Amino acid sequence: MKLSLVVPCYNEAENVRLFTEKVREHLADLDYEIIFVNDGSKDDTIKELKNIKNEKKENITIINFSRNFGKEAGIYAGFQHAKGDYVTVIDADLQQPLEVAREMYDFLEGHEEYDAVAAYQDVRKEGRIITAFKDAFYKIINKLCDIELYANASDFRCMRRTVVEAILSMSEYHRFSKGIFAWVGFDTYYRPYEVQERNAGTSSWSFWSLLKYAMEGVISFSTKPLKVVISAGVFTSVMAILYMIVVIVQKLVFGIEIPGYPTIIVLILLIGGIQLTVMGIIGEYLAKVHIEVKGRPIYIAKEVLHSTREEG
């Protein structure tokens, strides 16, 4: 097997058939397989996928999750079942052109010095606010984390088997793929691509889910927030001691009565606020440890179905 396409699908019933046709159109001369991961879709995705499989025009694997586990889990499951020398992660909604998938494969075939090709969005088609937030996200996460995330690089990428094995060896439950791809290293070539309109259906990302995802990323790949918190604690303590000295001097040397009520209220609120924030940050890490330590599986598959292409 030369190439495996790993395709996470959540409510993509109207896209998977056209997707498969496009794959056939662009990769016909290759020995390839498509691994569809049905991530607990609420529509007829699984029915469509089974129909496509039964036509036996492609080498197809369907991994049918028992519920929605998220795209990241889908990618992991796909990697586990991929048999190709090269593996490409691609969305089912045709936003990521198969021409580019083909070019990424050809590039790796021709460039031994690279282990992976990742596509990044050259021109953003999202709103200005989202774009600004995403830019800020890359700045912040690159400051906070030891890994370097390439701005706007998606998980639309093609990689050699060695890279896939490396990613599979990272069996953590909280899977922030952008971070995982960067963490395993390897020589990655970044190439621009133009993201297309979604063929059918809606994106499953809202502003809040993006924000949550960004926080996940920071917490999964950096412990710096905990260090910032220590600095905040030390800073407030030092300020408090300085203020205490000022108060004592005012009282003992100058005999000034200190009108204390507003100061006390402000300080109590300020310190209380800082403490709660700090506890919240520690709590986030603790929650991650809590889930991770249970060693729960990354996904549960209800069934895994295969079909091989029949000639003619």
What's the gap between Cα 162 and its chain centre?
A: 20
- Helix H or strand E segment including 208: helix 207-221
Rounded to whole angstroms, the Cα distance separating 40 from 24 reads: 26
Q: How far is the CB of 19 from Mg ion (least distance, A)?
A: 12
Strands 153-160, 116-121: pairing is: antiparallel
Q: How far is the CB of 19 from ligand UDP (least distance, A)?
A: 9
Told to check if 58 binds ligand UDP by CB under 6 A, we report no
Told to check if 222 binds ligand UDP by CB under 6 A, we report no
Told to check if 15 binds Mg ion by CB under 5 A, we report no
Interacting positions 86-105 with Mg ion (CB under 5 A):
91, 93, 95
256: helix, strand or coil: coil
Q: How far is the CB of 281 from Mg ion (least distance, A)?
A: 32
Among 71, 157, 160, 178, binds ligand UDP (CB under 6 A): 71
Is the Cα dihedral 62, 303, 216, 4 positive or negative? negative
Is the Cα dihedral 169, 175, 180, 183 positive or negative? negative
Token readout for 40 is 């607990």
Q: Which is nearer to ligand UDP, 71 or 157 (CB)?
A: 71
Told to check if 48 binds ligand UDP by CB under 6 A, we report no
Rounded to whole angstroms, the Cα distance separating 20 from 92 reads: 9
Told to check if 78 binds ligand UDP by CB under 6 A, we report no
Q: Which is nearer to ligand UDP, 5 or 147 (CB)?
A: 5
Q: Which is nearer to ligand UDP, 181 or 222 (CB)?
A: 181
Told to check if 70 binds ligand UDP by CB under 6 A, we report yes
Using the CB atoms, write b or e for 87-103: b if 16+ within 10 Å: bbbbbbbbbbbbebbbb
Stretch that binds ligand UDP, among 136-144, 171-179, 200-208, 260-268 (CB under 6 A): 200-208
Of 154, 160, 182, 159, nearest to 170 by C-alpha is 182
Told to check if 205 binds ligand UDP by CB under 6 A, we report yes
Q: Which is nearer to ligand UDP, 43 or 85 (CB)?
A: 43
Chain residues binding ligand UDP by CB under 6 A are 8-10, 12, 39, 68, 70-71, 74, 91-93, 95, 203-205
Chain residues binding Mg ion by CB under 5 A are 91, 93, 95
